[in-house]
Amino acid sequence: MNKEVAIIGGSASGFFTASLLAKQGIDVRVFEASDRIKPPERSLIVTDFMSDVLGSLCDDIVVNRIRHFEFFSDGRVGVISLRRPDLVIGRSGLIQRLAEEAKRNGAKILTGHRFLGLKSEGKKIDFTVSFNGNGEHIEDSAEVLVGADGTFSRVAKEGGWPATKTVSLVQAVVELPRDIAPDTARIWFIPKETPYFYWLMPHSKTHGVVGLVGEDKGKARMVLDEFLATKGLMAEGYQEAIIPLYTRWIPNHKKLGENDIYLVGDAAGHVKVSTVGGVVTGFRGAMGVAEAILDGGSSRKLKALHTELDLHKFVRKVLNRFTQVEYCSLLDLLTPETKRTLGRFHRDETPKLLINLLLKQPRLILLGLRALIRA
């Protein structure tokens, strides 16, 4: 196959897509607006699905491993131990490593090239980029264009995709409290303050991040600061991001004349709305896009991702209706068998997790139905 593929955006999913395609001999170019591959740092927690995908490539970018989760709700505490530990990584290091791997596999990376627009004439998609912000416009073309340019994707806008609803993620870097082990993360459910949750995620033996998801960036920072004060913690710095909110599956492929445009990662809105995590789902979307380009058709991987994201949407719909009382009831239902099930299956294999969880603890169905009916 001699297709030319242009990927717009040096994101994790963009570089991973480039690597997969280049490894198969595809002519791949990645256009990144920044003049160097060094995105803002943000601590991320992912399941060990990332190890399954990247193998030893990710070994030295893992800064911590989380083996236990402590859940709190109005005096109730539930502890879950993971059979396979979650991985804490730095976003910047991950993207840099994926860029190196894509280049090693044969992809060309062009930094300082900002995508401006596109059109389709004949057998290729023509697109325009500006070089190094100096006003010089460069015309280029490819048979396949992949938008991996993040939440506010210019490719998505030019291709006619609808704008994506977003939420704000704010994390404060803090010194770890003395009563927490570095291999343990904490989750607090306080629905009157956030429909999501607060988290404390250690990224070293001494420090971690406390985070919050909110609809408004300024309000989220204020609410987070108030929470830190109640816990006696002081922010040493902040990490922030605008995250796309998955509301429904939107096909991430369009035809433009005789050619193809795909979206991947945050540009496609492939983020688990239950936790607003998008690294693993971005990888899965990248594998699906690569499969579709190489096979010239549909992708079973994208269909599986569709199912996964819809299940996370359902879980979030239920949890958004939980009161403090129901979160307390949820923790009361964490029997030893239920905890083992939660520790056995991770959140990136939701169908298996939900089926096994409901078989072990059917009262969870009644708890969720009660919240939905009341709402």
What pLDDT was estimated at residue 9? 96
Q: What are the helix (H) ranges across 107-213?
A: 154-159
- What number of other Cβ atoms are within 10 A of residue 351's Cβ? 12
pLDDT of amino acid 127: 87
CB-CB contact of 310 with 272 (8 Å):
no
**Residue 1: its H or E element:** none
284-308 b/e with 16+ CB inside 10 Å = b?
Answer: bbbbbbbbbbbeeeebebbeebeeb
Cβ distance 185 to 45 under 8 Å? yes
Taking 3-state DSSP, the helix, strand and coil percentages for the chain, each rounded to the nearest 5, stand at: 40, 30, 30
Please name the amino acid found at residue 351: P
Whole-number Å distance between alpha carbons of 60 and 63: 8
End-to-end CA gap in the chain: 53
Structure confidence at residue 374 (pLDDT): 64
Among residues 167, 161, 163, which one has the least CA distance to residue 251?
Answer: 161
Distance between alpha carbon 300 and the CA centroid of its chain, in Å? Answer: 20
Where the chain has pLDDT below 50, the residues are none
Query: 10-23 burial string, b = 16+ CB within 10 Å, else e?
Result: bbbbbbbbbbbbbb
**pLDDT tens profile 68-101:** 999 999 999 999 999 999 999 999 999 999 999 9
Per the structure block, which two tokens stand in for 18? 């480039």
Name the DSSP letter for residue 57.
G
Structural domains of the chain, with CATH: 4-40+91-162+250-298 (3.50.50.60), 43-90+165-244 (3.30.9.10), 315-374 (no CATH)
DSSP track, 102-131: HHHTT-EEEESEEEEEEEEETTEEEEEEEE
Tokens describing residue 12: 């994790």
Counting every residue written for the chain, the total comes to: 375
Residue pair 132/112 in contact by the 8 Å Cβ criterion: yes
Q: Are the C-beta atoms of 300 and 45 separated by less than 8 Å?
A: no
For residue 217, the model assigns a pLDDT of 77
Task: State the residue for tokens 């989760």.
Answer: 69
Residue 63 contacts residue 53 (beta carbons within 8 Å): no
User: Which residues share a beta bridge with 68?
Assistant: 81, 184
- Give the span between the Cα atoms of 38 and 99, in whole angstroms: 10
> How many CA atoms lie within 13 Å of 285's alpha carbon, on the beta-carbon side?
32
Q: What integer pLDDT is reported at residue 133 of this predicted model?
A: 62
